[in-house]
């Protein structure tokens, strides 16, 4: 059985999927829903694109699948900027899974944005942590080697 020491030995960078799917705060609900559906994900990272060449792709917020559902039932003309959580919980690739889990539990979140130098570089979810636990359990039993993530690396959506 795995325990807390395991969570202190594995880093976020070991368990996360590198890359993000982004949206602009001005993207409408259809665009956000399409990004989630096409990439089989539960959140998109809203970025403030800023002037070209100047501090591009700054983390602005996160729109989760639940945020999207709230927007749909509201019936209003909402966009990602209206739905996004602006108080974004982040971790770095060097942080331990223990820190990520504790942040998720404390904040009641299923996803954390992984940042390097204040730029989003990935997302770690509760499912990513469960996979890391499963893979480490398999390794500890000696029956298999650690497998890479099964999901493809995510990409940013092209801007219109």
Alpha-helical runs (H) found in the chain? 4-9, 12-15, 29-39, 65-74, 80-83, 97-107, 126-141
**Consecutive H or E run containing 27:** none
Q: Residue 76 is part of which domain span?
A: 10-141
Does residue 64 surpass a pLDDT of 50? yes
Structural contact between residues 119 and 19, judged by C-beta atoms closer than 8 angstroms: no
Is 149 among the domain residues?
Answer: no
- Which carries the bigger pLDDT value, residue 153 or residue 114? 114
Longest dimension (CA), the chain: 54
Is 151 among the domain residues?
Answer: no
Is 157 among the domain residues?
Answer: no
Is 17 among the domain residues?
Answer: yes
Residue 55: which pLDDT band, with cuts at 50, 70 and 90? Answer: low
| CB neighbour class for 131 (10 Å; exposed up to 12, middle 13-18, buried from 19) | middle
Structural contact between residues 148 and 17, judged by C-beta atoms closer than 8 angstroms: no
pLDDT per residue as tens digits for the range 2-11: 456 777 889 9
* Dihedral sign from CA coordinates of 65, 71, 77, 78: negative
pLDDT per residue as tens digits for the range 87-144: 999 999 999 999 999 999 999 999 999 999 878 999 999 999 998 888 876 555 555 4
- Which carries the bigger pLDDT value, residue 57 or residue 88? 88
Is 22 among the domain residues?
Answer: yes
Is 38 among the domain residues?
Answer: yes
pLDDT per residue as tens digits for the range 10-52: 999 999 988 899 999 999 999 999 999 999 999 999 998 766 6
Is 160 among the domain residues?
Answer: no
- CATH code: domain of residue 92: 3.10.580.10
Is 158 among the domain residues?
Answer: no
Structural domains in the chain (count):
1
Q: Per-residue b/e over 51-87, b at no fewer than 16 CB within 10 Å?
A: eeeeeeeebbbbbbbebbeebeeeeeebbbbebbbee
């Amino acid at each position: 059985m795995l325990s807390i020491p395991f969570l202190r030995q594995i880093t976020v960078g070991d368990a996360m999927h590198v890359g993000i799917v982004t949206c602009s705060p001005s993207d409408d609900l259809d665009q956000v829903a399409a990004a989630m559906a096409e990439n089989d994900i539960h959140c998109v990272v809203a970025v403030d694109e800023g002037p070209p060449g100047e501090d591009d792709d700054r983390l602005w917020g996160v729109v989760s699948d639940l945020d999207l559902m709230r927007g749909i039932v509201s019936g209003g003309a909402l966009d990602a900027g209206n739905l996004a959580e602006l108080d974004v919980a982040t971790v770095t690739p060097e942080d331990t899974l223990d820190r990520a889990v504790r942040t998720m539990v404390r904040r009641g979140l299923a996803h954390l944005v992984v940042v390097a130098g204040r730029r989003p570089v990935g997302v770690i979810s509760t499912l990513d942590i469960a996979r890391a636990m499963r893979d480490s359990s398999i390794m500890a039993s000696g029956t298999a080697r650690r497998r890479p993530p099964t999901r493809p690396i995510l990409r940013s959506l092209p801007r219109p």
